[in-house]
Amino acid sequence: MSILFINGSPNKNGNTAALAAELLKGHKYETLNLTDYTIGAYGQNLPGDGLDAVIDAMKQADTIVIGSPLYWHNICGSVRNVLDRFYGKVENGSLSGRKLYFVFQGAAPEKWMLEAGEYTMKRFAGLYGMTYGGMATGKNEAAKLKKRFKEEFIMEYAVLNNGVKMPMAGIGTFLLTPDEAEASVISALQNGYRLIDTANAYVNEKAVGRAMKKSGLQREEIFLETKLWPSFYEQPDAVDKTLARLDTLYIDLLLIHQPAGNYIAGYRQMEKAYKEGKVRAIGLSNFNKTQIEEILSICEVRPTVLQTELHPYHQEPELKAFLKENGIVPQAWYPLGHGDKALLEEPLFAELGKKYGKSAPQIILRWHIQSGNIVIPGSKNPDHIKSNFDLFDFALTDDEMAQITALNKNVRYYTSTPEMLKKYAEMVPPVDEQK
């Protein structure tokens, strides 16, 4: 996500910039200093006018933070000129999809001054289609706003090859009972998660559906992912039954769970569901390069995601390069190495955790996200659920990323065999018996 800070202060490194830095601490952002641009007042036509450049920069950003010192009881002139000049030049709603925050700094401002400034900024955001995130006038307010900034707007997304946006972090429900899955999903959604992963074989889809309803969120706010099991691949109503268990009209991402049985028939069924609007994206789970190539050779709808084992001890660089060439996004299960103590206690993670004030799992999950891996760590512990999502207020450096990448040992915790795949094809999960 790109963040743009527009600094209206004539002092590029003054209190306004410092307040913005407090709000955006841990995030990469670009600064645009209005003092570097000639921007006349409304009605003026000055040579070398820079308003178009400012507008272009705003259009390139996902989140915009406007900062202004408080001069003469109001927003400073440079910011005011930008706002005024939008009128009649920029179409209403043309910045839709972006988020706007306001940093308003001044010495002992009165309440009415701050209210007037925020009213103006709210109106500006609304007129041009932006979501207004809030105002900070001091460090304490910046700290509070930072929490909202992280929880509501800083989620990072992968854009799938069909244009669908998928959150980079979510919660998995593997090995969770229905009661555990319901509680975990509710907790996750309350803590800002928007990606939920389940499967026919987990036998907790009904619980996931209940949790989504109980969360109070709108269906379109949640990215729901599930997987078809091999023994259902040839059942023509498998997708409809999955929808019914989840109590939803559509699934955001549907995967073939295992390269077992007649997975070509399963993929065809997913393609049909995609064309009918029952599924927004389709993909694969546990497929290797050869098996993916087989799907690519016969598919009408390209797979968007491969869910596979990925973690610092097993990074699959060749597979990931192949996925990138074919526009397929990797999603990591066992992102924390199946809880391997040796991995979690790597000295490097302790060192980086001390630097960023984060735990080893948080460092690992951040590495995944910056590596382009969508993560779905599972947990039934509310504290762990909360912690596993606290990933968007810091970024590892290129050197730190390289150090973690150097830990690769090509160690897997799960390896399928022909015998296992045969069993998977024959196994029928008791989906109709679940709570």
Side by side, the strands of the sheet bearing 282-285 are: 171-172, 195-197, 223-228, 253-256, 282-285, 305-309, 329-333, 374-375
Residues with Cβ within 8 Å of residue 277, at least 6 apart in sequence: 250
Instruction: Give the mean model confidence (pLDDT) for residues 91-109.
Output: 88
- If DSSP codes are grouped into helix, strand and coil, which group holds residue 134? strand
CATH for 3-154 is 3.40.50.360
Residue 165 in tokens: 């946006």
Q: Which of these ranges, 23-37, 75-89, 143-157, has the smallest mean pLDDT?
A: 143-157
* Residues 6 or more apart in contact with residue 59 via CB below 8 angstroms: 94, 95
Query: How far is the C-alpha of 27 from the C-alpha of 425, rounded, in Å?
Result: 46
Q: Dump pLDDT digits (tens) for 54-97.
A: 999 999 998 999 999 999 899 999 999 999 999 889 988 888 87
Give the closest residue to 231 by CA, choosing from 435, 433, 419, 422: 422
Residues designated catalytic: 202
Whole-angstrom distance, CA of residue 101 vs CA of residue 67 = 9
**Mean of per-residue pLDDT scores for the chain:** 94
Architecture of domain 158-433: Alpha-Beta Barrel (3.20)
Percent of the chain with pLDDT over 70: 98
Helix (H) or strand (E) holding 270: helix 263-275
* Cα–Cα distance for residue pair 287/156, rounded to 1 Å: 25
pLDDT one-digit tens code per residue, 351-405? 999 999 999 999 999 999 999 999 999 999 999 999 999 898 788 999 999 999 9
Alpha carbon distance 190, 187 (integer Å): 5
* pLDDT of the residue at 152: 59
The residues spanned by each domain of the chain are: 3-154, 158-433
Report the run of H or E that residue 20 belongs to, with start and end.
Answer: helix 15-23
How far apart are alpha carbons 266 and 233 in whole angstroms? Answer: 4
pLDDT of residue 223: 95
List pLDDT tens digits, range 198-224. Answer: 999 999 999 999 999 999 888 988 999
pLDDT band at residue 42 using 50, 70 and 90 as cut-offs? very high
pLDDT above 60 for 153: no
